[in-house]
Chain A
């Protein structure tokens, strides 16, 4: 939030400048992390028993003999031309890999945020309306529990209970093994692809599989949404226009939803955009548990084998997504609030 406010004061130009600086800092950070790693990038390519000559050639090819600042400029140039190198594990350009896996994660995160907001906003409003009475306390414990659970563990327990024991939902992956390869990958959003191909069984299977990881992710992000909704709502409920609404003879419910809630919508949009970014974090862990072939799984599996090209690009992409969400939430603020128009 302070960023946004500062952005508004500095105007659009200042904002673009600050975004540029942050992006540049992001690049320095990923570059530095990439260079301090103890695993030898040359060895990772040429293997353990390559001759000294081969090693030297690759060493020079990678530009590791040149000074740091020169290497950094090469890195900048590569990033500017969207050349992020090749993944050692898949042998594909990293960018292609990421664009391939990202839709799975976006699908998951979008379902999760719908669930999280759908749960968190009403709970937050309820907590504010019943401040310091038992619904408030109950909601606080419920939402803090969601925030406190190690999501990889909850994921496993939930799989055990709802899939293995009760059989209510699908297990790991985006769909049953049986359907894999049945739907042509057009957008890589499985739910969209299956609708396009009119494969309703696949669509159902995909829904069955996304419900559990998405609701867990959503539950864990709802804590933040609940708390912010509650505090925004408390601010509004203390305002005079709420009294005006009640004086007009509106019921409690009408006052809360038609008047007070209307005034927090803009703030909520901002919060949800930021919560969406935070979801990506939980996605890394939950994708591992649910064998969800998305961004998080791609990141962790490359992490474990030291595929630094892939890892650093992933980190960069997340950073860029975060910045983009910040800008987006700021934009939404300007669009939706009549006072800033």
Chain B
């Protein structure tokens, strides 16, 4: 918020103020468009539920997610334990509810790392062009030439298994598409009159990039991050499942599936519910992303 404030203040004319009020209007348009389609509405509802669950986790859970009860292990779903209990007698529902906080943490941390890295690389490459551009985009291409899970695996292996390292590894593999996008956006703004005006006034490249270019790239970067979030969640869960992400006893959904695997044949609820949770959240992001793509497709917009 404070950043857009500064932008408005620093702008000498209405050039940046107009896009801002416009972008609010666009955001409202996009939201109404999304809510009209049942599939993206489902995505929005699920994500809202996820956030609410994470905020009110202790109230919703009803049990302590870490509390063991060795006299009541592997009990099937019942009124007392909606999703049953695990091999240590912990309430699975409570663990899934608290796990939503871990999922949100991953989403949040990946967003605030990947966004700036991608924005930095992309805007710098796009603004300066020439050799800077060639080198930075080459590096981006090299990162893109790996499948992201395999590269994250390698990073986690090097850094050692833990949730934080998993988040770092995912961030290290998730920034290239963002950088590509930010670069493309920057190239379209680079020649704009208000950028030239800022340059003529003697603004440094750093200032121009930070105050004039980054705010313009931000909306599309945020949308792209939403599109990628399903992959991020699946990668995090996959790392957790392989024992390279969140470590027990943390109620991370992927790790819960990994431990539940041993009891799968007799106690299906151990793996079923955490898996459904992952499926719901990543499907929600995918449906929302798909809706956003449609909403932003100019061909679609004019059709309405």
Give the interface SS of chain A, mostly helix, strand, loop or mixed: helix
**CA distance in complex: A135, B154 (Å):** 41
Q: How many residues of B contact A (CB 8 A)?
A: 48
Contact of B271 among A157, A277, A300 (CB under 8 A): A157
- Interface mask (B200-244 → A, CB under 8 Å = 1, otherwise 0): 000000000000000000000000000000100010011001111
Contact of B234 among A36, A137, A150, A299 (CB under 8 A): A150
Decide: A37 and B157 in contact? CB cutoff 8 A: yes
Decide: A160 and B268 in contact? CB cutoff 8 A: yes
Decide: A318 and B150 in contact? CB cutoff 8 A: yes
Contact of B147 among A3, A37, A280 (CB under 8 A): A280
**CA distance in complex: A37, B275 (Å):** 31
Q: Which residues of B131-148 are within 8 A (CB) of A?
A: 138-139, 141-143, 145-148
Contact of B265 among A34, A145, A164, A323 (CB under 8 A): A164
Q: In the complex, how many angstroms separate the beta carbon of A55 from the nearest chain B beta carbon?
A: 21
**Residues of chain B with a CB closer than 8 A to A323's CB:** 145
**Residues of chain A with a CB closer than 8 A to B243's CB:** 304
Contact of A22 among B141, B150, B157, B160 (CB under 8 A): B141
Q: How many residues of A contact B (CB 8 A)?
A: 52
Pairs A–B under 8 Å by Cβ, sample size 25: A3-B141, A22-B142, A25-B141, A26-B142, A33-B154, A38-B159, A38-B160, A150-B278, A153-B237, A153-B241, A156-B271, A284-B149, A284-B153, A285-B241, A285-B242, A288-B241, A299-B150, A299-B153, A306-B157, A311-B157, A318-B150, A319-B145, A319-B146, A322-B147, A326-B145
What 4 pairs between A and B have smallest CB-CB spacing? Answer: A153-B275, A25-B142, A148-B283, A37-B158
Residue ranges of B at the interface with A (Cβ–Cβ < 8 Å) = 38-39, 138-139, 141-143, 145-151, 153-160, 230, 234, 237-238, 241-244, 254, 257, 261, 264-265, 268, 271-272, 274-275, 278-279, 282-283, 285-287, 290
With A22-B145, A281-B150 given, name 13 new contacts (CB 8 A): A22-B142, A29-B143, A33-B154, A38-B158, A140-B290, A145-B283, A147-B286, A148-B234, A150-B257, A157-B271, A303-B153, A308-B158, A315-B153
